[in-house]
Structures are given as C-alpha cells and as structure tokens.
Structure 1
Amino acid sequence: MPPQLTPRVQTIQGVRLGISTDPESTWKITIGYPHSTQGGVISSITPTNDTTPSSNSYPLALPSLVHPHIHLDKAYIHNTPAYSDLLPITGSFREALSSTTRAKAQFTKPDLLKRGEWLLAESVAAGVTAMRAFVEVDHTVQHTCLEAGLALKEKWKDICEIQLVCFAQDPIFSTEFGDENRRLVEEAIRAYGPGQVGVLGTTPYVETSTEAAKKNIEWAVELAMEMDRHLDFHLDYNLSPLEEQPEPLVWYVLRILRERGWTSRATKKRVMLGHCTRLSLFKDEDWTRLAKEIHGHDLPISFVGLPTSDIYMAAVPSDSATKTNPRGTLPVPDLIDKYGLDAVLGVNNVGNAFTPWGLADPLSLACLGVGIYQAGTVNDAELLYECVSTRARAAIGLSSASSELDPGVCLKCGYPADITLLYDVDDTGCFGDGESESRSRKTVAEVVWDPPSKAKRAVVYRGRVKMAALSTDCSSGFRFVE
C-alpha cells in the first residue's frame, strides 16, 4: 500500500541546502499551492538564524530522486517462490532472456501488483518521487503488465509520478511472433492517452538481423511521432569491436530522427538511448562526431547509463585462453562535461536475471559512479547527484517546472515541492547518551560518497510528507497549512 501523507506543508524551517562552500547555513523553504489540483511548488527559500540544538536539527534538503529507467514488471522475480527454478546458472545474457521469457509466461496481475509495490515502496523510501517505468507488451503477457502498471500508477499517484513505457522487449520484425508483438504494442499505444502511457520503448538489438533492427527503429520513430510520445530505445547492448560489422545502431537512430524531422523545435517529446555499452569503446573522434550530429541537428536526445546491469551483463567471461572479461558502461560524466551531451544514470533492473544484485536506491547508483568513473571530486559528486535527480527528471521530459529549469543540486523557486530530506538520526544505537553526536552529512558530496540509510531520509511529494518520516521525531521543522 502507498504510505500515508501529512496535510499540505506550508514551510520547512531550518534546513541545509548542501552548499559545499557554506554547509553550516540554514534556510526556510516556503511552499505555495497556486493550482489546487497540481500540488505544491517552492515559492521562496530564505536564510534563517535557526540555532536550536538537536541531534536531528538542520536536515539536508535536496531535490528528490528519480528513476529515469526502471523495469516495473520484472522487479524482484528472484524474491518470489514461484520463480525459484529460474535462478541464474550461467549468468549469461542469453540465459537472462530465456529465463525471463519463461517467467513472463507465469505472470499474473496479482503477482505483478505485488512485486511492483515492492519496487515502489523501496524507491519511495529512498526518496524517489518520479520514475520512467517499463512494462512489456508482447504475445506472452499480452496487455497484462501494462494493465498492472496503470493500476499502480493510479494507486501511487499521491506519492510518486509514474511515467509508463509501453515496451517491446521481444522482436517485432522477426521470429514467428514478430507481427503479433507489433500489433499488440500498436493496440496498446493507441488505446491509452499520453497521460496514461507517455512513452514508446523498443529493443532493436533483439531482432534476428540488422535489417529487422533497422525496421524496428523506423517503425518506433514513426509511431512515436504519430502518437506524440516520448521514445526510448534499448540500444547497442554489446561490446563488439567497432571495426566489426554491423556498425553501432546509434548512427541509424540519428539518421532516421533527422529524416523524419524529430527536433527540439518540432516537438517537446524526447528520445532516450539506454545501455549503449558498445559506445564505451568509442574514441574521442567518435564522440565528437556523435555530439556534432546531435547538436547540429537539434536532436532532443539523452543517454542513460545503467552501470549496475551493464557491468554485470554487457559481457560474459570469455572462453578464450586469455580469459579476458571486458566490461563496459557509458562514461556518463565525460558525455556531459567533455562533449556537452545529455546523460543520466538509471537503476534498470532489480532482483532478476538481468541484474540479480544492487538496490532500488538511486543514491547507491550515484555512489557506484564515483568508483566506475573515478569521479572523486566535489564537483563530480554533485554531477552524479544531478544524474539521479534533476537532470534525470528533465531527461525523461516530465511536464513540470523542473523539467524546464537547469539541472542542479540545490532546490529552486518554481520547482515542484518534491524534496528528499536527510536527517542526522542515529541508527547505530551508539549516540543516545547526550555526550556525543552521530556523524552528519552536510553536503551533496558527503551524501554521494557515503549514502545515508533510508531510516535517515524523509520524502516530500508536491508539498506533502510521507508520514513514516515523522515517526523518527523529525517533524519539528514542518509547519502545515491550516
């Protein structure tokens, strides 16, 4: 069940904003409600002189977390007894495809709702207030996953904005089921409006030939444009040497977007390219060419790196004599800082054959990025936080003020009142004597380098607070609308 929420918050008194140059200053956040049906927005952020001593005073208030790419229907398969015979044996990509197909044959709506709520509960507890969630449509599950996703979207709407992706994981232009899969996806995307199903997603690399993969791309671009939806490709999920044919499909995606006239000026809908592990083999001249094509043709493209899955699944141990075991994931910080591309980080899968490890916590992903990208500076940490927060929200094109503003790690006036609060609550049991205090995190970098437990986090969505947060005696700073 979704968590209970407080009445509307008017002010949050005495918070830090994670400013690395001034971590001790405190602020008051005022929330307004200009449109009664759309929730609260931040109307002012003013300095305070709050000096009330308390172990949990002065929480760190940051923009809320976002899942820009997560699979709602495949979460926690490994935690469900009905699928106990489908645990990994080889850990290969082909095995993951096969075992997930077998699992999908057993999906029921009650099962999908249960596992989906597990994912939502874990995500919201971490501070997630928005997500792009994939639900599969094909000859095996028909529209069952989509129907469950719609039910969860409605049920959890007061605490998390769920942007559903009608997703073709299986081939739609090859194999004996391709035509049926394509028909089911088309039926689904036409049956529901953009407010219900906002994104079309496909997986060109599962097709049995390059020709079929290109048809997949052409079809997806044309259908998304016709139906005015965002588009999301799982793309180039391999580590084949660049000199081998075929060339990365990203070049064909760019070509078709150009030919069909999909530009930032023509539409507000965006295109997301996920995984793209083969692009991790690009040299500087390849990235420079890619950036030039995207910027020169005004293509509204974002990349999402999925390192938890990519470093596990993008390549399997080699059988060669050298036992080489390459791994690859998109170099997200470089894409942003060096090439001016838009890139974010996503969790992707939790608890299934594609990703049997990891958490549904975007902060843990940002932390992982420090090591993967050797991104150890304060600026690096702040960028990684953006990639699972404000930058991620803008990349998926959610219709709110925050998607129109520049990314950043500080709250800003005009943003929806979606806030993750991080408290100095002692969860070690070692600092209750009043003579010593537990370690606090006063900056974004400290949070990314060493994410606090969920017990130290509170989530505000559209100006209302998750009630469970107040049970930890963290309610003194809230003032509610009377």
Structure 2
Amino acid sequence: MSPPRLTSPINFIRDVRLAREQSTWDIQIGYSAGSAQGTVTSVTPHEPSTKDDIESPLALPALTHPHIHLDKAFIHSAPEYALFLPTAGTFQEALSSTTKAKQQFSHSDIIRRGEWLLAESIASGVTAMRAFVEVDRTVQLICLEAAVSLKTQWKDSCHIQIVCFAQDPIFSSEYGEQNIEFLEAALHKYSQIDVIGTTPYVESSPEAAKQNIEWAIDCALELNKHLDFHLDYNLDPNKEALVWHVLQILKQRNWTTHSTDKRVMLGHCTRLTLLTENEWARLATEIHENELPVSFVGLPTSDMYMASPPRASGDCKPPQDRPRGTLQVLEMIRKYSLDAVIGVNNVGNSFTPWGLPDPLSLACLGVGIYQAGSQADAELLYECVSTRARAAIGLSPSHSGPWVKQGCQPDLLLVHNRDDTGCGMSRPRTNVAEIVWTPPGKLNRDVVSGGRLKISPFAGAESDSLYQF
C-alpha cells in the first residue's frame, strides 16, 4: 500500500458551483516560489455556458478529522485480533480487550491499519487529521514511531497532526510512573509531535485526575504544544465535572489567545449534557471573558454507543429506558457561541465497532442526533467536519464556513453527478444540504490537497475541461 498519486499543481478549476450560489465560478490557485502549497488567489464568475449548471461539480472546503485514533483503527479487520472482538459491548470490555490487543501491536501492523484509515479518509475528502497514538509501558514508542513514519509518507495527501496520547493512568495504578516516563521521553525525542493528550477520567481518584490535568497543561505550555483531553466521559450526576478544573488551571497558567497560539480541545464531555442552563452560561462566560482558546469535540458514534448513565442495584427503571449522551454541538455554537465540532473518534474497534472514517456520514448522522433538518443546520454540520474542525485543531486561524474564498488553502472537495448506479442515471446534489442529507459515494468525490488532485479511478472525461494544470 502507498499514498495516493497526485497530479501536478492545479492552476485553474473552471465552471464549478459554490455554496449558496446559483451561477458557476472559476477558482484560480497560485503558488509561491519554492513552495508546493498553493493559495486560492481568486474566485471569479464563469462565463455563461450552454450546459445546465447542475451538471457542474459543487466545490467545497475539504474535510477534517479533528479527533481520530490512528493506532487502534480497524483492529476488528485484522485476523490476528479475532480473539478481541466484543462479546458484551461495554466500555469496560473495550478498555480491557484493547489493552490486551495492544500487547500484540507491532510497527508493521500499525502501519498497515493506519494506511487503511488514511486511504479511506482521504478518498472521502479528508486532507487534515488530528491523530491519537498511545504511549505507555505496554506499547512504549511503537505507535508513535509508526505515526511519525505515516506522517512523513502521506504528507502530500493529508496533514497528520500527531497526538502523543496517554490512554492509561499516569498518576495512579502500579504502572502510572512508568507510563509518564515513556510520555516524557517521547515528547523530548520526537519533534513531530504536535499535541499532548491525556485521559484524566481513567485515574483512580478525582485528585489523581486533577494531577493529570495540571501535568498536561504545564507540559504543553513548556513544550509549546496543543493540548487535547478526553474528558468527563460519563453520564453520572454524582461525579464532579472536571471541565471546571481544566478552565481554572488554564486561567492560573495564563493560557489565553494572547499568550500562545496553541489551542485546547476537550473531547467527549458527555457529563456536560447534565449541566443546568446556568452552568452552561457560566461555562461560556468563563471561556469568553478569559479569552481561553478552548474547543469542544462531540464524538457521536462513540458517545451514543458507550455513554449511558450508571445503573444502581435495585434500579426500577424499565429496561427500555436507555438514555444516551453526546454534546449538543449545534446548540453550543448558536446559543453559547462556543467553539465546537464533531469527530469520528474510533473506527473498527471495541470502543466503536460501527461507522466509517467518513466525516460526511458523521454530519449526516448529526441531522438526526441534533434534530437539525434545515438547510442552515446542514451547512453548520458541514462546517463542523471541515473548516470549523480545521480551525479547532489549530491548522487555520479561523473558519470560513462552507465557502471556497480568495486566500484560503486549496484543500477542496468537488462533488460530481457521476452515475454510480450502473443504470445510466445520476441524481444531482445541488447544494450543501443535499450533500449532508444524502452523502455521495467516493465515486463522486474529487479530492484536492494543497492544490493537487488525487488521481482517482472514477475520474471521467469532464476532468480535462475542469482542471488546468
């Protein structure tokens, strides 16, 4: 397996539709001397043509994975891990079986499964991802070394932002000290690490969880890294929400938009769905007034599968009463002006045995989860897996909505109307909403990364007139 082949740099993309535009447009891409990365230098109206505009592809910003686990991807697809297929489907089983599976991880195995993830993601339209790889006494630096190799080999197709991730405890359990030693060694050895990530909720006590948070914040500031917490992954009203401690320490350490360009991401956070209206208002105020560069990422496929409230012995609730929790991302954006996105998280393992590494399928799922059926909802969902997600992980200074504009990076997804039925017909998707509501197959997705087109077996004759190199 190898990274996809890319064309030479594109200079023009002609006669494409844009979000909310009735006519078609031409996109010009320029390249600075000595740089393979381009910039969209102009977006201008296309001269009228005789063909129907709906035949022209719809050009959108490319997709982004703001939170995905590279080293644990597709464990279920590898025959050597057949013993670890889920039987109970619980979170504890997932933790236990994945810990055992990790004992078998090898460099070549992680490369193979990582390339499965990258290939399917890029074919879907992903050109940037924040990828978690675990470092601890079990895997030591194996996962990280594989991720560094993949980051280098696939850099032309996809920007891989590596998270040095502590899934296991670092301030409790008999192996905590060893785990933190491996983390610190990795952080000082590999300059390719972009992000420090930890899981405070796996610690054995609230005190240890807070130590975990403080260590990660101090370490990220010292090394000038982004920070990413798996946080408050429960639906237990009797457990303290650790988000308040995170905000408190960020304020104490003066982590603001003025002091650093590094960002803080909080993932899962299902416990926050139990907050009162006043608590949500307080949360938003804390972040805004202190200018904290904090983003939230909801992970619906994992959250819906795993996050359920605890059941006490003697619980009289009917068996059909099975609430699930995931952040109400659209409401967080609109009502509280919080920075929030959605991500895939896991694919093909016991934490999330269902779903695809396709952010568009996730945006589609969001229509039902958030009861978000309007065109404006669909556009916001698209942003949450594209421009908002890219900005949340620090790869662009701000999000631009679902629009291709002058000055933006030429990372694009062009959606075509090619026949994928074998029946000689195709159904046009005329706007962003239709792409979110009924995501097109990969046959109808052209992916442009850094101004270069991914060479696809599905490209038709229309490509000759569409792209000018």
Give me the TM-score of the superposition, normalised by structure 1: 0.94
| Counterparts of 1:106 and 1:280, CA distance in 2 | 37
Q: 1:75 to 1:451 in 2, by over 3 A?
A: same
SS at match of 2:304: helix
Query: 1:174-196 CA deviation, whole Å, 9 max, x = no partner?
Result: 00110010011111111122xx1
| Counterparts of 2:407 and 2:160, CA distance in 1 | 21
**AA matched with 2:8:** P
Q: 1:361 to 1:474 in 2, by over 3 A?
A: farther
SS at match of 2:464: coil
| Counterparts of 1:187 and 1:357, CA distance in 2 | 35
- Corresponding position of 2:231: 235
Q: Once the 2 structures are TM-superposed, how far is the Cα of residue 450 of structure 1 from its aligned partner?
A: 0.8
Q: Is the 8 A contact 1:55 1:424 kept in 2?
A: no
| Counterparts of 1:139 and 1:50, CA distance in 2 | 63
Give me the TM-score of the superposition, normalised by structure 2: 0.96
Q: Once the 2 structures are TM-superposed, how far is the Cα of residue 38 of structure 1 from its aligned partner?
A: 4.5
1:475 to 460, 463, 469: 463
- Corresponding position of 1:12: 13
Within 5 Å, give how 1:288-327 maps onto structure 2: 288-315=281-308, 318=311, 320-322=315-317, 323=319, 324-327=321-324
Query: 1:20-46 CA deviation, whole Å, 9 max, x = no partner?
Result: xx3x31000000002432511100000
1:370 to 367, 371, 377: 367
Within 5 Å, give how 1:35-434 maps onto structure 2: 35-53=33-51, 57-193=55-191, 196-241=192-237, 244=238, 246-315=239-308, 318=311, 320-322=315-317, 323=319, 324-398=321-395, 403-431=396-424
| Counterparts of 1:424 and 1:170, CA distance in 2 | 46
| Counterparts of 2:288 and 2:184, CA distance in 1 | 31
Q: Does 1:466 align with 2:464?
A: no
- Structure 2: any 5+ residue segments left out of the alignment? none
| Counterparts of 1:204 and 1:149, CA distance in 2 | 23
| Counterparts of 2:252 and 2:404, CA distance in 1 | 39
| Counterparts of 1:252 and 1:122, CA distance in 2 | 38
Q: Once the 2 structures are TM-superposed, how far is the Cα of residue 107 of structure 1 from its aligned partner?
A: 0.2
Q: Is the 8 A contact 2:168 2:199 kept in 1?
A: yes
SS at match of 1:475: helix
- Structure 1: any 5+ residue segments left out of the alignment? 432-436
SS at match of 1:248: coil
Q: Is the 8 A contact 2:225 2:262 kept in 1?
A: yes
Q: 1:469 to 1:341 in 2, by over 3 A?
A: farther
Q: Is the 8 A contact 1:92 1:316 kept in 2?
A: no
Aligned-residue CA RMSD in angstroms?
A: 1.5
- Corresponding position of 2:441: 453
| Counterparts of 1:52 and 1:98, CA distance in 2 | 62
SS at match of 1:62: strand
| Counterparts of 1:338 and 1:328, CA distance in 2 | 19
| Counterparts of 2:46 and 2:79, CA distance in 1 | 53
Q: How many residues align?
A: 464
| Counterparts of 1:470 and 1:57, CA distance in 2 | 16
Q: Is the 8 A contact 2:15 2:466 kept in 1?
A: no
Q: Once the 2 structures are TM-superposed, how far is the Cα of residue 368 of structure 1 from its aligned partner?
A: 0.5
| Counterparts of 1:168 and 1:38, CA distance in 2 | 34
Q: Is the 8 A contact 2:390 2:399 kept in 1?
A: no
| Counterparts of 1:427 and 1:373, CA distance in 2 | 30
Query: 1:431-477 CA deviation, whole Å, 9 max, x = no partner?
Result: 2xxxxx52101111111111111110010011100111663334133
Q: Once the 2 structures are TM-superposed, how far is the Cα of residue 247 of structure 1 from its aligned partner?
A: 1.4
| Counterparts of 1:192 and 1:238, CA distance in 2 | 33
| Counterparts of 2:403 and 2:361, CA distance in 1 | 19
2:31 to 30, 33, 56: 33
Q: Is the 8 A contact 1:56 1:425 kept in 2?
A: no
| Counterparts of 1:259 and 1:55, CA distance in 2 | 55
| Counterparts of 2:333 and 2:53, CA distance in 1 | 38
**AA matched with 1:280:** T
- Corresponding position of 1:434: none
| Counterparts of 2:430 and 2:43, CA distance in 1 | 18
